[in-house]
């Protein structure tokens, strides 16, 4: 006889099977996201060779090509045309440009040469202007500055969009936009499809320490246009630590960069990943070699079968 108990049991079984199927589908999607491997372009920051050999743009581009990097970060607009020429000869990219915006400026908030550069040798090359935002009028992360900053950033985003470029807020300790929350907030207010936020590992660690990383990545993921990393000593004690602890070659430090990379790729990030090298005292060839070898190891370890819930 088919009793009410039988009916309840059948419904419970069906619910369990549906739940298992849903979880399996989620795991399959995650597996598929990671199965493609680590495909993000990997480029070196300009400070990897700034102030030390090799000084010549041709030699710098040659070293990066030899070691297997995909490009470099632009820095000085005086040097950028020559650097871009040498990079493009070797089919390497100017992946990002570290670009200053002063929201206090009475006239021009940023270097107007960027417009001509975007129209010419950077046109339709997918460069990202990673803007570091400055103010003496407003304290770091003070949203009162938004009313001034948003029109400037919309203008810059529209200029970039016209030439196939993007703009990302670069979170930097002690600058006006120092937190990833500032990038998220500004992304919502600027409201341009080519405008978003950056996640700079060393600055996030310095400001917050290694706490609640998954939640922080969930928050920034819809707006994420730029990611940078480096070897670093992580953990809660990273908050306020010195740069020599937070910026190391990629094969050093306690922070788990492989797990970090899996987390951002799992969330759908396909953009470039930059190597922060500020104040690393080793010769450029030495530390760049160590970091590209570590990157190659991450690519080999990017196997979803080894993925653990974190």
**67: CATH:** 3.20.20.150
Report the distance separating Cα 71 and Cα 56, nearest Å: 16
Report the distance separating Cα 279 and Cα 248, nearest Å: 9
Report the distance separating Cα 192 and Cα 120, nearest Å: 23
Average pLDDT, the chain: 89
* pLDDT, mean of residues 129-133: 98
Same domain, 199 and 266: yes
Same domain, 208 and 148: yes
Same domain, 222 and 113: yes
Is residue 176 within 8 A of residue 138, CB to CB? The reply is yes
Structure tokens at 22: 């849903």
Confidence band of 241 (pLDDT split at 50, 70, 90): very high
Does an H or E element contain 134, and which? strand 128-134
Domain of residue 15 covers 1-35
Same domain, 67 and 143: yes
Is residue 171 within 8 A of residue 197, CB to CB? The reply is yes
List pLDDT tens digits, range 15-46: 343 333 323 233 223 445 667 789 999 999 99
Give the distance, in angstroms, between the CA of residue 108 and the centroid of all CA atoms in the same chain. Answer: 27
Same domain, 92 and 174: yes
Same domain, 237 and 148: yes
Report the distance separating Cα 9 and Cα 20, nearest Å: 16
Same domain, 131 and 255: yes
Same domain, 17 and 118: no
Report the distance separating Cα 73 and Cα 45, nearest Å: 5
Is residue 260 within 8 A of residue 224, CB to CB? The reply is no
Is residue 132 within 8 A of residue 177, CB to CB? The reply is yes
Same domain, 111 and 188: yes
So what's the pLDDT on residue 302?
83
SS3 97: strand
Same domain, 286 and 147: yes
pLDDT at 198 over 50: yes
How many domains are there within the chain? 2
Same domain, 7 and 110: no
Same domain, 20 and 94: no
């Amino acid at each position: 006889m088919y009793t009410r108990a039988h009916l309840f049991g059948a419904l419970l079984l069906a619910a369990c099977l549906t739940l298992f199927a849903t979880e399996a589908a989620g795991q399959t999607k995650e597996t598929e996201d990671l199965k493609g491997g680590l495909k993000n372009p990997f480029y070196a920051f300009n400070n990897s060779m700034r102030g030390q050999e090799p000084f010549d743009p041709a030699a710098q581009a040659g070293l990066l090509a030899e070691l297997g990097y995909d490009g470099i970060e632009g820095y000085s607009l005086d040097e950028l045309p020559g650097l871009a020429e040498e990079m493009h000869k070797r089919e390497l990219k100017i992946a990002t440009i570290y670009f200053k915006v002063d929201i206090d400026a009475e006239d021009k908030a940023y270097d107007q040469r960027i417009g001509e550069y975007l129209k010419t040798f950077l046109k339709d090359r997918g460069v990202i202007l990673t803007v570091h935002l400055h103010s003496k009028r407003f304290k770091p992360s003070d949203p009162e500055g938004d009313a001034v900053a948003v029109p400037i950033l919309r203008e810059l985003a529209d200029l970039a969009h016209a030439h196939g470029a993007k703009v990302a807020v670069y979170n930097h300790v002690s600058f006006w936009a120092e937190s990833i929350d500032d990038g998220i907030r500004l992304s919502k207010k600027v409201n341009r499809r080519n405008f978003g936020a950056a996640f700079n590992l060393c600055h996030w660690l310095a400001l917050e320490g290694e706490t609640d990383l998954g939640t922080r990545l969930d928050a920034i993921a819809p707006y994420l246009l730029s990611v940078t990393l480096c070897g670093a000593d992580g953990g809660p004690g990273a908050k306020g630590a010195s740069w020599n602890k937070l910026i190391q070659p990629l094969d050093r430090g306690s922070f788990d960069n492989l797990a970090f990379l899996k987390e951002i790729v799992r969330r759908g990030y396909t953009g470039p990943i930059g190597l922060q090298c500020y104040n690393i005292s080793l010769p450029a060839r030495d530390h760049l070699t160590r970091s590209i070898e570590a990157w190659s190891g991450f690519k080999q370890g990017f196997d979803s079968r080894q993925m653990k819930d974190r």
